[in-house]
């Protein structure tokens, strides 16, 4: 999004996803944002105000809309190389479209990412390189202590 991305970059905030869709009777522009350290509700509110002012002065949208700026949440899918870099050293869950070494689901610690694969250490210290092209869904493993 041409207006939001430069503003967010100046704030060291990553634009994760943008959706513009009808919800009920009106349109909703939803921006999911994050930072390396995570993002708070107060930061989302501040960014909402900042972006709202900039967008209100633009002619991007023909009909009224509601702007929502929020965090992608803990269950955010890992899709890009940057997503995997962010979780290196942490436990992830990966489901694949096709079996990789005879399995379609892995749970372990992400230890490396490159343009081709993410490497995950699973049980007994075994490292498995899972091709990014084979990944159907990957998420951070959520544990409660």
pLDDT, one tens digit per residue, over 51-82 is 999 888 888 888 889 999 999 887 788 988 88
pTM score of the predicted model: 0.66
124 pLDDT higher than 90: no
What pLDDT is recorded for position 77?
85
Residues shown for the chain: 145
Transcribe 98-138 into DSSP letters. EEETTEEEEEEEEEEE-SSEEEEE-GGG-EEEEEGGGEEEE
pLDDT, one tens digit per residue, over 9-47 is 999 998 888 889 999 888 999 999 988 888 899 999 999
99 pLDDT higher than 80: yes
Domains of the chain: 4-70 (3.30.300.70), 81-140 (2.30.30.100)
Mean pLDDT of 122-130: 92
138 pLDDT higher than 90: yes
145 pLDDT higher than 80: no
CB atoms inside a 10 Å sphere around CB 16 = 19
| CA 66/CA 74 separation, integer angstroms | 24
């Amino acid at each position: 999004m041409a207006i939001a991305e430069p503003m967010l970059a100046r704030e060291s905030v990553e634009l994760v996803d943008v959706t513009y869709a009808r919800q009920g009777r009106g349109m909703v522009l939803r921006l999911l944002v994050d930072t390396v350290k995570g993002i708070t509700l107060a930061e989302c509110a501040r960014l909402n105000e900042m972006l709202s002012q900039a967008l209100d002065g633009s002619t991007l949208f023909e009909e009224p809309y509601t702007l929502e700026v929020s965090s992608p949440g803990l269950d955010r899918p890992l899709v890009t190389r940057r997503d995997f870099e962010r979780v290196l050293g942490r436990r992830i869950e990966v489901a694949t479209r096709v079996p990789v070494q005879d399995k379609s689901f892995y749970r372990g610690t992400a230890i490396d990412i490159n343009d081709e694969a993410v490497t995950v250490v699973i049980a007994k210290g075994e490292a498995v390189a899972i091709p990014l092209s084979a990944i159907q869904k990957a998420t951070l493993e959520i544990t409660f202590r």
